[in-house]
Amino acid sequence: MPDKKMIYTARGAWISHMGRVRKVNEDACLFGSTFSGASTSAPMSAMLDAPQWVIAAADGIGGHKAGAYASREVVTGLSLCTDISPKGMNRRLLEIHRGFHKSGTENPDLTGSGAAVVGMFANDGVLYGFNVGDARLYRQEGGKVRQITEDDSVEQMLVNEGMMKANPEIRPANMHALTQSIGGSSELIQIEPHFYLLSVTREARFIICTDGLTDMVSAKDIERIAVPMLNPVAVVQALFSAAMEAGGRDNITIAVVDVEKA
């Protein structure tokens, strides 16, 4: 049974930026009670030492207006969740999913609005990661950066079915299509959010990001940049700079989270 007296603290930094090409930031970031749907100019530090917390990044889809609306709706909805558990978070994600369908039927401008989402949450001495879509959670450990989440993408589907090998480099443009998302369709399609139990003996570092990073910077380069740095603000800035230097073709959201047992 989880230790009811133990909590996980989280400290780190995050940024959410429109990138070099997009005119609107369709990403949004939640770090505990701190939420941003705007385009931030520099990494922001944050710390959470409450018994329960949620950190998440959402990447909106459906066009400028609908995408920006969707990413904010996702992180706002998660921030209001009171049952911070796999069951409770799953229920909240499905409620948000159904809400997008309802909004789309009532307002044509919001038809097809939706988002990919990724994040972490802690409560009652347990720690979980979660995702729907292709935003990612990585764990940095032993000089390596390892992807925790599995993308809901055409590329990953083909890998799972043995029709192609996993690509360690940046995915091709024709592999960006999602196999599921929160909302994102004029029809109400059933989805299954993914949850990952995370084990932390004492402390661990995690990286949360949207594809504005991973479609610009390979996993190998993320590892090369992140591993030597101790300061989470410096890591966020370095990863963000690498994505911008590579073209910054999409919105970029990155959070580096140091989790410690308290």
Domain-embedded: residue 122: yes
* CA-to-CA dists, residue 60 to 40, 126, 162, angstroms: 17, 29, 30
Handedness of CA 78, 82, 83, 85 (dihedral sign): positive
Residue 26 lies in a domain: yes
Q: CA-to-CA distance for 9 and 16, rounded, in angstroms?
A: 22
Range of the domain at 99: 8-261
Distance CA 249, CA 19 (A): 6
Q: How far apart, in whole angstroms, are the C-alpha atoms of residue 37 and residue 56?
A: 12
In a domain, 1, yes or no: no
CATH number at residue 60: 3.60.40.10
pLDDT of residue 65: 79
Q: What are phi and psi of 108, to 5 degrees?
A: -55, -30
Helices (H) and strands (E) in the chain, counts: 6, 13
From first to last of its 262 residues, the chain has per-residue pLDDT tens of 444 568 999 999 999 999 999 989 999 999 998 877 778 889 999 999 999 999 999 999 977 779 999 999 999 999 999 999 999 999 999 999 999 999 999 999 999 999 999 999 999 889 999 999 999 999 999 999 999 999 999 988 898 888 888 777 787 777 789 999 999 998 999 999 999 999 999 999 999 999 999 999 999 999 999 999 999 999 999 999 999 999 999 999 999 999 999 8
The number of angstroms, rounded, from the C-alpha of 128 to the middle of its chain's C-alpha atoms is 13
Residue 3 Cα distances to 98, 129, 148, angstroms? 35, 19, 24
User: Can you tell me the distance from the alpha carbon of 246 to that of 137, in angstroms, rounded to the nearest whole number?
Assistant: 21
Question: What pLDDT was estimated at residue 3?
Answer: 47
Domain for residue 3, yes or no? Answer: no
State if pTM tops 0.85. yes
Angle between helices 232-245 and 219-226 (to 10 degrees): 140
Instruction: Examine residue 240 and state whether it is found in any structural domain, yes or no.
Output: yes
Tokens 């609908």 correspond to 66
Output the pLDDT for position 1. 46
**Number of compact structural domains in the chain:** 1
